[in-house]
Amino acid sequence: MKILVALKQVPSRDSALRLNATASWIDDADLTYEINEPDAYALEAALQLKEQHGGEVVVLCAGPEGAASSVREALAKGADRAIHVQQDGLEALDTLALSALLASVAREESPDLILTGLQSDDLGSGQTGVVMAELMGLPHGTIVMAIEKLDGAIRVKRELEDGWFQYVTLPLPAVLTIQSGINKLRYATLMGIKKAKTKELRVVSATAPASQVLCTKVFLPSRAKQTQIIEGDARTAAAALAEKLKFEVRVI
């Protein structure tokens, strides 16, 4: 089984985020980067399937030259080879354009299974895997918690609302978006880091279609303090406070 994992490099969670001069995106001068956490779980799911059933795990990453560090980390964890679509300015692409870019490269690999994280930590649209599946004409499953390989198909466990789950059987090839936290992430071993240096990392170029959505300005979350005085006797004030905590603040 050939499994392709779409991986994205994002700013580290502990990075201090500042806007650039035009407020069109984040100033990347002092940022550190890491593998998008949901994608790390997709990679772990792929590696576990490979260990159980054999095959090959191929990492696909679209990003600037610096994204190669995250690709190498994926190779060190156990991926067999990687494809890096090296291109600057991908943050300006909307989901459709980026998905089309990834799909154009994925088609050449003809994988049996494509895994992506449920969403990215920076934009969080949660659409890339689904749009890739639509563009490639493949069945897909989202919010996947477990994967069972069958003869020419897979059976997946999907997370629904209120503690409910759904089990779905999909023919191969297929696309899955993986839920975070479904397994324990492995660390890259010293031997894995050494082997990663000899594994194939193919740098390719691809042309993305024009974006249909344009981000003109980014805003930092606003912070404000507000005090409300609740009038009335104790019983009336308590009832009003409980209502606000439940329906406005939503903490009870």
pTM of the complete model: 0.84
Write down the domain spans for the chain.
2-204
pLDDT digits (tens, 9 = 90+) for 161-181: 888 999 999 999 999 999 999
- For tokens 């031997």, the residue is 191
Confidence of residue 21 (pLDDT cuts 50, 70, 90): confident
Is a pLDDT exceeding 90 seen at residue 122?
A: no
Render pLDDT for 138-165 as a digit per residue (tens, 0 to 9).
999 999 999 999 999 999 999 998 889 9
Phi, psi of 57 (to 5 degrees): -110, 120
Question: How sure is the predictor about 135, in pLDDT bands with cuts at 50, 70 and 90?
Answer: very high
Mean pLDDT (whole number) for 120-144:
93
Task: Name the 3-class secondary structure at 77.
Answer: helix
Between β-strands 9-11 and 2-7, what pairing exists: parallel, antiparallel or unpaired?
A: unpaired
- The token pair at 158 is 């999907």
What pLDDT digit, counting tens, does each position of 213-240 carry?
Answer: 888 888 887 777 778 888 889 999 999 9
pLDDT surpassing 90 at residue 15: no
Cα-Cα-Cα-Cα torsion 77, 78, 81, 84, nearest 10 degrees, comes to: -20
Tell me the percentage of the chain whose pLDDT exceeds 90: 67
Nearest CA-CA partner of 102 in 45, 50, 63: 63
Report the chain's mean pLDDT, rounded to a whole number. 92
pLDDT bracket for residue 14 (50, 70, 90): confident
- Tell me which of 63 and 91 has the higher pLDDT: 63
**Least confident range of 12-16, 45-49, 107-111, 112-116:** 12-16
CA 218 remoteness from chain centre? 21
C-beta of residue 106 within 8 angstroms of C-beta of residue 226: no
Model confidence pLDDT, tens digit, residues 68-90? 999 999 999 999 999 999 988 88
- Are 105 and 82 in contact by the 8 Å Cβ rule? The answer is no
Chain-centroid distance, C-alpha 105: 18
- The pLDDT, as a whole number, for residue 77 is 97
Amino acid 223: pLDDT: 78
Any idea which architecture 2-204 has in CATH?
3-Layer(aba) Sandwich (3.40)
Q: Does residue 105 carry a pLDDT above 90? A: yes
- Asked if residue 43 lies in contact with residue 74, where contact means CB atoms within 8 angstroms, the answer is yes
